[in-house]
Structure 1
Amino acid sequence: MKNIYITDLDHTFLRNDLSISDYTKNIWNSYKDASILSVATARTYKKTMQFLGGIHINAPMILLDGALIATVDKKIIDTKFIKKDLADAVIDEGAKFGIYPFVLALADQNLNEVFLHSNILNNHQKNVLTRYKRDDNLQALKNIRAMDDNFKVVYMGEEKLLKDLAKQVEDSFGDNLKYILAPEAYTGCHFLTILHPDADKSHGIKTLSEYSGFDLSKLTVFGDNYNDLGMFNLAKISVAMANAQEKVKQEADVILKYNNDEDGVAKYLEELKNAK
């Protein structure tokens, strides 16, 4: 049975400038024949594929925090959607706090995604959107409404505001949704991600295991933030980056001395190979 390696992207596999070094590409790809290789990320399919040029992936990817499982050739394995009426109700709750979300949704079965945002943006959102200005799936709306099939609703802002919003949303919708409040290292704020209750990386890995028939006792995962904790609990070996959140390090089997800018994932894999 092959070993399985699944890595988070941001602040784990990607450097802070969103690139992947040739060294990391070479080490990762050297595992392609003897291992199962994939990613588990909060990113969309489109963004993930933009980042992974030259990277070998031979299993379905866990995308959008587990709301989508899909192959590199756009075969959809599983989806966990927030339906329109529920997503719109969440948007209405946020409006009471004077804050409007990003909504990531599926436009069609060809895996075309839509990134919806309000015309009313805070500075953190404006900062994030500068990285998407060349993308053709952005839609700015005066009165933001969700679509039929929504992967997630994401708020960005100061921690206290988002804590208050998270409490309000959870009080209103309870177990009908999943709520993840975490630091956002690129902009220095926090983000509140709202998902289908079964949309997370741990459910994604279980789905992937059933689909691909791999053994979880052979699984190693890499991560840095709170949305990685579910897959840490499932894996045989969980590896936290040197730059990981402290709560994530506490749950990890291995804490690297290297951060994402220092090719931490690749250095771990190279040391593993050299130890054999």
Structure 2
Amino acid sequence: MQNFYLTDLDKTFLRTDLSVSDFSRNVFNVAVSNGVKLSVATARSYTGVCKLLKGLHLKEPLIVLDGVMITSADGDIIYVSALDRDIGDEIIEIGKQQADIFPLLVGLDSNGVERFIYPKQRNRYQEELLRTYHNDRRLLDADPLKAMEKNLKIVYMESEEVTAQIELALKEKFKDEIEIKRSKDPYMDCWFMTVMHAKGDKAHALKKLEEIEGVNREHTTVFGDSHNDLGLFNAAGRKIAVANAIDELKAVADIVLPWTNDEDAVARFLKDELKG
């Protein structure tokens, strides 16, 4: 059975400046042209992936939005796990009650169009992130902030203490109805807490993708660096951490590479393994 390779993007395949080196691009494209099943699993949206990976030959389905969605290489939605409007509104209310802050929402409107909804009351971290999405047609301001019909990700950006406080309240309320990923943001001095459907994580998405690709767990290799890759590692046959990965991920990895993301760790491994 053919092997399937799946890599995280930020701080794993991408360099820290969010670029893809010529070396990594060439290794990726040669592998795909030779029939290797190679794709990505990322917290980013499909649109964000396409912008960052421009010039890469994407053929296999992609895991995006931390596993909430699987899309085809052309952007068609194959699989989605979303929080409904009622739960979304409750999550927003709990954040307001606990810390008087509002999240940003990533979801699908009634026409199935992807939207990023920002609250009118924003903190400095949200403002900074908003600037990176300048002129993005998916952006909408909302006052009052209300959940969408299908909420893919509900994201809080604040201190470690504040996000932990909200996380505790959400877990007490919803228990196993939701999935929460909380970690330090790799680019800003804050903590990122993402609330999703209980099956909206990389681990569940990987199992679904293995069905789609016709491969089993033993033939799946994944690459990662951070907390949101732990589930992915637990669900994969072979787990590979880059040198700059967090200690928790290295502890469960089968292989810890001697190179960082800025040294093209994933591409170096693939070139050696595939003899490209």
Shorter-chain TM-score tier: over 0.9
Deviation at 1:142, TM superposition (A): 2.3
Q: Which residue of 2 aligns with 1:152?
A: 153
Q: Which residue of 2 aligns with 1:220?
A: 221
* Kept in 2: contact 1:45–1:63 (CA 8 A): yes
Q: Which residue of 2 aligns with 1:20?
A: 20
Report the Cα distance in structure 2 between the residues aligned to 1:134 and 1:242, rounded to whole angstroms.
36
Q: What TM-score do the two structures reach when normalised by structure 2?
A: 0.95
| Secondary structure in 1 matching 2:203 | helix
Report the Cα distance in structure 2 between the residues aligned to 1:59 and 1:265, rounded to whole angstroms.
18
Q: Which residue of 1 aligns with 2:210?
A: 209
C-alpha distance after superposition, 1:38-77 (max 9, x if no partner) = 1111111111111121112222111111111110212221
Q: Which residue of 2 aligns with 1:103?
A: 105
* Kept in 2: contact 1:38–1:59 (CA 8 A): yes
**Counterpart check, 1:245 vs 2:250:** no
Q: What TM-score do the two structures reach when normalised by structure 1?
A: 0.95
Letter in 2 for 1:27: V
Report the Cα distance in structure 2 between the residues aligned to 1:181 and 1:165, rounded to whole angstroms.
11
Q: Which residue of 1 aligns with 2:259?
A: 258
Letter in 2 for 1:197: A
Report the Cα distance in structure 2 between the residues aligned to 1:75 and 1:108, rounded to whole angstroms.
16
C-alpha distance after superposition, 1:119-157 (max 9, x if no partner) = 211122222222111311111122111110110101011
The worse-fitting range, judged by mean Cα deviation, of 212-221 and 192-201 is 212-221
Matches within 5 A, 1:2-21: 2-21=2-21
Report the Cα distance in structure 2 between the residues aligned to 1:229 and 1:194, rounded to whole angstroms.
16
Alignment gaps of 5+ in structure 1: none
Count of paired positions: 274
Report the Cα distance in structure 1 between the residues aligned to 2:175 and 2:207, rounded to whole angstroms.
24
* Kept in 2: contact 1:119–1:140 (CA 8 A): yes
| Secondary structure in 2 matching 1:31 | helix
Report the Cα distance in structure 1 between the residues aligned to 2:56 and 2:3, rounded to whole angstroms.
18
**Counterpart check, 1:132 vs 2:143:** no
Q: Which residue of 1 aligns with 2:168?
A: 167
Letter in 2 for 1:15: R
Deviation at 1:108, TM superposition (A): 5.7
* Kept in 2: contact 1:49–1:72 (CA 8 A): no
Report the Cα distance in structure 1 between the residues aligned to 2:27 and 2:113, rounded to whole angstroms.
31
**Counterpart check, 1:48 vs 2:49:** yes
C-alpha distance after superposition, 1:199-241 (max 9, x if no partner) = 1111101111112211221111111111111121222221111
Letter in 2 for 1:218: H
The alignment's C-alpha RMSD in Å is 1.5
- After the TM superposition, which segments of 4 or more aligned residues of structure 1 sit over 6 Å from their partners? none
| Secondary structure in 2 matching 1:130 | helix
Q: Which residue of 2 aligns with 1:30?
A: 30
